[in-house]
Chain A
């Protein structure tokens, strides 16, 4: 047995060693920016120096060959510097404006769509899905690939009223996060329990504590300690499943997909907003999830036509009102849209403000 090596607890490295020298030179000394065309940013520094950034989409789950191709491009055009965005797009920076058209051409030729800047539909931030997660109700990368194939023109242009951030999540934990449009798994049936395994696998008090509606209680089943679910109380959230895999929440038919709209992190104009449920019950239809794409495209086209410049999706809906949103999108309004969780009365209309 060779002696094990102690880790060096170095934390995060200093970014400056990796940055393009023009960014190091002008660090904290930028004066303004603009966008010469979709997919390209120009940042100007106090020194007068300008840095051009060309942004392109990736598949996020990158094989080493693809990463090396991106490196080849960065070596050819950007002195070997490259950065990624929070939403897994890739950015190439150069001070040489004359290189920009060829860089764009090269990226497009290699299959990386140039765009994602300004008021475009950015890349979909997403989770791991069937590729790597231990609790997923659907895939992540596949859903996103299928959707981006449909939305690529909106990624490459800047024709939306404001930026559109879409997210997907393969369970209700929602690792994909808030979005102008969020596409999330919504389970519709309580967990199916394998009572023979519970006692050996699950820390039962911890599982009971996880349930947001106190629907789980200890039980003896076939003489073995197990757990049972009060199915009238259960909201099918799946919180019990990660700490207790024998409480299987995923179902090929009953784990559906729901669509939420109007989420926003920024405090720009309006305060940050949570996304709200607008559609549910969509089938988990691999490999291309066409029913999901149809709803997403419908919502996007209505927003694109109806919102004013700079209104994010949630702000647009606040202006036009929810009755108009459901009318324009032709989505059904059901009892499931009416919030009944704690604090949910804040989501009801306590006024005589009405839309007809």
Chain B
């Protein structure tokens, strides 16, 4: 049993400087006497210093779980346990926070107490997927810690080839720009997928993320298989008196530089009386002018969501952006929410049935083509799904008349609605 603090000359160098130091926190957990975590943390500091000295990592995975679930614990076993025995098992419990990362102090303190008793006392707020990461737990303590956290009303997050923990921006809780209720949508979808979170059986992971507008504060577009972004359909709301005040505040030249010239589709002009001329047909709802003029400009009133599918990082075929599969749908009534949850299930089912092992949704779409994906999900084709039509001629077009007829029919139906 290592009762002494290990020497940590390299980590010590990360205690100085103005930014809060995680090393100081680790040491404090190691130095407190009479707590289970002091031993764990002494070993952990020793192993981390060893990593710094040798520039290599020393954790390996394994299989640790809780009763009833097949995911949510990230097992870590030390490869240098002979030198640092007390952190030989250092598992993480992934726990899903409330959407938008809201807490009250009673809840946080209760979590701290549980983790002080059963774990290392180290909690990351939050992991890259949005989990509360209770880091550092011995195998025999995992179930006890989990039982208490679960009894508080919190549930385990995703891991492995299942639906993962979601993330959402602050949304209507504290933002006038949110075009839909990100927190409710997050909860509606995730809480209908608990089986797929806790018992992963997909080809690979599937992530949902929720941002209230094109600013995408939840980083959904590139980090989620399904990115749900707020937008609007009608004209942007303009308070011309506030526009004039903003022009006065910035000066005409700066207003033109910062607002008019920055519009990606040149949809804005400044009138002679310092009011704003908006060509709403050219507007792409990018949010820039609204960000600059927070008092004068707002999204329109006919709000809803657009859905981008297939975002991911490098492995295996290279980086992919999510692309539009639903340009607009309303998300207000209970029926709207049901429709969204059903669509999410359809996306998951199609992915489960058709993706190759370890293939993400975006890679599957790359392989089979977007049109096949839309057909399977019964989603209407829309010109908003493309940057430009195809540029190569390698396509059989012998069904042209039929497809053109479908388009005309849809236009007629939409006009009748």
Across the interface, B105 reaches (CB within 8 A) one of A80, A142, A178, A269, namely A80
A111 to B216, CA, bound (A): 30
Return the CB mask of A218-257 against B: 1 if under 8 Å, else 0: 0000000000000000000101000001000010110100
When distances are taken between beta carbons in the complex, the residues of chain A under 8 Å from B358 are 206, 209-210
By a CB distance below 8 angstroms, the chain B residues around A267 are: 214, 216, 221, 229, 284, 286-287
1/0 per residue, CB under 8 A from A, across B289-313: the answer is 0011011000000000000000001
CB-defined contacts of B316 to chain A, threshold 8 Å: 210, 212, 239
A64 near B29 (CB under 8 angstroms)? yes
Q: Which of A19, A82, A152 contacts B18 (CB 8 A)?
A: A152
* Interface-located stretch among B181-189, B268-276, B346-354, B403-411: B181-189
Task: Report the minimal beta-carbon distance from A311 to chain B, rounded to whole angstroms.
Answer: 8
0/1 per residue, B248-290, Cβ < 8 Å to A? 0000001001100011100000000000000000001011100
Number of interface residues of A (CB under 8 A): 113
**Contact A269 to B314, CB < 8 A, known contacts A32-B176, A80-B105, A288-B13:** no
Is B172 within 8 A of A269, CB to CB? Answer: no
Q: Tell me which residues from 154 to 176 in chain A have a Cβ below 8 Å from any Cβ of chain B.
A: 172-176
List A contacts of B257 (CB < 8 A).
308-309
CB-based contact A11/B28 at 8 Å: no
Nearest-CB residue, chain A, relative to B181: A28
Q: Which of A53-61, A96-104, A299-307, A330-338 contacts B (4 or more CB under 8 A)?
A: A53-61
- A34–B294 contact, CB under 8 A? yes
B394 within 8 A of A: no
Please report the C-alpha to C-alpha distance between residue A114 and residue B109 in the assembled complex, in whole angstroms.
23
- Supposing A64-B29, A308-B257 touch, asked if A84 and B125 sit within 8 A by C-beta, the answer is yes
Known contacts: A64-B115, A310-B262. The answer to whether A19 contacts B313 by CB under 8 A is no
B96 at interface by CB-CB < 8 Å: yes
* CB–CB A310/B258 < 8 A: yes
Q: Confirm or deny: B138 has a beta carbon within 8 angstroms of a beta carbon on chain A.
A: no
* The residue from B20, B194, B215 contacting A266, defined by CB atoms under 8 A apart: B215
Q: A81-B104, A269-B288 are in contact. Are A60 and B22 (CB under 8 A)?
A: yes
Given the contacts A19-B173, A130-B48, A58 and B18 also touching, CB distance less than 8 Å: no
Of B17, B174, B219, B295, which is within 8 A of A149 by CB? B17
CB <8 Å contact, A6 and B104: no
Binary interface encoding of chain A residues 1-24 relative to chain B, with 1 for a CB under 8 A from any of its CBs, else 0 = 000111111111111011100010
Cβ–Cβ contact A135 & B175, under 8 A: no
B residues 47-97 touching A (CB-CB < 8 Å): 48, 51-52, 54-61, 66-69, 74, 76, 90, 92, 96-97
Q: Name A24's closest neighbour in chain B (CB-CB).
A: B173
In the assembled complex, the CB of A188 is this many whole angstroms from the nearest CB of chain B, namely 14
What is the total of A-B residue contacts with beta carbons within 8 Å? 349
A15 / chain B contacts, CB cutoff of 8 Å = 98-100, 102, 173, 183, 187
Within the assembled complex, what's the spacing in Å between the Cα atoms of A265 and B55?
Answer: 32
- Given known pairs A18-B107, A88-B126, A245-B60, the reply for A142 and B190 (CB within 8 Å) is no
Minimum C-beta distance from B19 to chain A (A) = 4
Residues of chain A with a CB closer than 8 A to B370's CB: none
A212 contacts B187, C-beta separation under 8 Å = no
* Across-interface contacts of A152 in B (CB, < 8 A): 18-19
Whether a CB of chain A sits under 8 angstroms from the CB of B150 is yes
Assess A132 versus B90: contact at CB under 8 Å? Given A11-B96, A27-B173, A149-B19: yes
CB-defined contacts of A88 to chain B, threshold 8 Å? 124-126
Cα separation A4 to B144 with both chains bound (whole Å)? 10
Q: Is B327 in contact with chain A by the CB < 8 A criterion? A: no
Contacts of A252 in B (CB 8 A): 54-56
Interchain CA distance A58-B19 in the complex, whole Å? 8
- Residue A39 is within 8 A (CB to CB) of chain B in the complex: no
CB-based contact A86/B172 at 8 Å: no
Q: Report whether B66 and A12 are in contact in the complex, using a CB–CB cutoff of 8 Å.
A: no
**Chain A residues with CB below 8 A from B287, complex form:** 266-268
Interface string of A27-70 (1 = CB under 8 A from B): 11011111000000001000000010100011111111111101
Smallest CB gap from A5: residue in B: B147
For B, the interface residue count at a CB cutoff of 8 angstroms equals 127
The verdict on A113 contacting chain B, using a C-beta distance below 8 Å, is yes
- Give complex CA distance A151, B40 in Å: 32
- Complex contacts, B201 vs chain A, CB 8 Å: none
> In the complex, are the beta carbons of A80 and B264 less than 8 A apart?
no
- For B191, the chain A residues whose CB sits under 8 A away are 10-12
* A35 CB, nearest partner CB in chain B, Å: 9
By the criterion CB–CB under 8 Å, are B25 and A66 in contact?
yes
* Nearest A residue (CB) for B121: A64
Q: Is A284 touching B13 in the complex (CB atoms < 8 A)?
A: no
Asked if B169 contacts A86 (CB within 8 A), the reply is yes
Give A111's nearest chain B residue, CB to CB: B20
Q: Any chain A CB within 8 A of the CB of B103?
A: yes
B223 contacts the other chain (CB 8 A) = yes
Interface residues of A in 88-138 (CB under 8 A from B): 88, 90, 93, 111-113, 125-127, 129-138
Contact B313 A173, beta carbon cutoff 8 Å: yes
Complex Cα spacing A70 to B111, Å: 14
- Partner among A138, A172, A209, A310 whose Cβ is within 8 Å of the Cβ of B292: A310
A194 at the B interface (CB under 8 A):
no
The answer on a CB contact under 8 Å between A342 and B123 is: no
**Contact pattern, B 209-243, Cβ under 8 Å of A = 1, otherwise 0:** 00000111111111100000100000000000000
The verdict on B14 contacting chain A, using a C-beta distance below 8 Å, is yes
Residues of A close to B194: CB separation below 8 A: 9-11
Is A30 a contact partner of B223 (Cβ separation < 8 A)? no
Contact A274 B319 (CB under 8 A): yes
* Residue on B nearest A129 in the bound complex, by CB: B57
Q: How far apart are the CA atoms of A57 and B19 in the complex, in Å? A: 8
Give A63 to B99 CA distance when docked, in angstroms.
23
B105 near A65: Cβ-Cβ < 8 Å: no
The complex places the Cα of A65 from the Cα of B223 at a distance, in Å, of 32
| 13 A–B contacts from the bound complex (CB under 8 Å) | A5-B67, A7-B66, A12-B187, A18-B98, A63-B25, A63-B123, A80-B106, A82-B103, A146-B14, A177-B313, A250-B56, A269-B262, A310-B288
Chain A contact residues, CB within 8 Å of chain B: 4-15, 17-19, 23, 27-28, 30-34, 43, 51, 53, 57-68, 70-71, 74-75, 80-86, 88, 90, 93, 111-113, 125-127, 129-139, 141-142, 145-146, 148-149, 152, 172-178, 206, 209-210, 212, 237, 239, 245, 250, 252-253, 255, 263, 265-270, 272, 274, 284, 286-288, 308-310, 341-343
Q: Beyond A12-B97, A66-B20, A71-B105: 4 further Cβ-contacts under 8 Å?
A: A62-B25, A70-B108, A84-B126, A245-B60
- Pairs A-B, 8 closest by C-beta atoms: A149-B17, A11-B191, A63-B25, A252-B55, A28-B172, A30-B176, A130-B51, A148-B19
